[in-house]
């Protein structure tokens, strides 16, 4: 990475960091990791690889709903981005099979605190 000039900085700021609208973000701050987000992250990464899915699994920070960790936000084209909470391996599997592959939101695990 070379040192930035102010113009180059502007350029990067205007770029869309979300290169695609297919992504999974796992909350990987200490609160999440303490709740087991580490394993969920690895599991999702493995599943995506295994099933050859075109979706990026990323880590992100704590978004505030710590009581509902592990939190996984999923964005799949054609569906609204939603956050799943208290995700265990079972729910993670459903996310992959139902949400990502079958393009249907998973029941009973969405945490939507935005108004």
Partner 1 sequence: MYEKTVLIKDTDLRREDKTRQAYTQFLDHLRQNDQHSRIQVVRVADVGLYDKGLVIKVLPDRITYANVQDRDLERIANSLCENKEAIKDLVYKPKVKQEKLALRNCGKIDPENINEYIACGGYLGLKRAIFELGAEKVIEEVKTGAIRGRGGAGYPTWLKWNFACKVSSEQKFVICNADEGDPGAYMDRSILEGDPHSVLEGLIVAAFAVGASRAYFYVRAEYPLAVERIEKAIKAAYDYGLLGKNILGSSFCLDAEIRLGAGAFVCGEETALISSIEGRRGTPHPRPPYPSIKGLWGKPTVINNVETLANIPQLISKGGKWFAQIGTETSKGTKVFAVTGKVKNSGLVEIAMGATLREIVVDLCGGTLSGGPIKAIQTGGPSGGVIPQELLDTPVDYENLQKLGSIMGSGGMIVMDEDDCMVDIPKFYLGFCVDESCGKCAPCRIGGFQMLNYLKKITEGRGELNDLIHLKRISYAMQKASLCGLGQTASNPVLSTLKYFENEYIEHIVNKRCPAGKCNHLITYKVIEDKCKRCGLCSTNCPVNAISGDKEKGYSIIQEKCIKCGRCFEVCKFKAIYKK
Which positions touch partner 1 (CB under 8 A)? Answer: 1-6, 9-10, 12-17, 25, 27, 29-31, 33, 58-68, 71, 73, 78-80, 85-86, 103-115
Closer to partner 1 by CB, 37 or 47: give it: 37
- Rounded Cα distance, 95 and 71, in Å: 12
Q: Residue 47 or 71: which CB sits closer to partner 1?
A: 71
Q: How far apart are CB 95 and partner 1 at their closest, in Å?
A: 13
Place of tokens 């998973």: 106
**At closest approach, how far in Å is the CB of 75 from partner 1?**
11
The smaller minimum CB distance to partner 1, of residues 61 and 89, is found at 61
Please, which residue, 52 or 107, has the CB nearer to partner 1?
107
Strands 23-27 and 72-75: antiparallel
Report d(CA 70, CA 57) in Å as an integer. Answer: 14
Distance CA 24, CA 43 (A): 12
Per-residue burial over 37-70, b if 16 or more Cβ lie within 10 Å, else e, is beebbebbeebbeeeebebebeeeeebeeeebbb
> Least CB distance from residue 31 to partner 1, whole Å?
7
Q: Minimum CB separation from partner 1 for residue 83, in Å?
A: 8
């Amino acid at each position: 990475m070379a040192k930035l000039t102010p113009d180059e900085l502007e350029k990067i700021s205007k770029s869309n960091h979300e290169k695609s609208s297919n992504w999974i973000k796992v909350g990987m701050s200490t609160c999440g990791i303490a709740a087991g987000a580490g394993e969920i992250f690895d599991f999702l990464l493995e599943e995506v690889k295994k099933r050859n899915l075109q979706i990026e699994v990323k880590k992100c920070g704590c978004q505030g709903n710590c009581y509902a960790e592990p939190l996984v936000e999923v964005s799949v084209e054609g569906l609204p981005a939603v956050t799943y909470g208290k995700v265990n391996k079972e729910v993670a599997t459903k996310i992959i099979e139902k949400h990502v592959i079958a393009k249907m939101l998973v029941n009973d695990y969405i945490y939507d605190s935005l108004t």
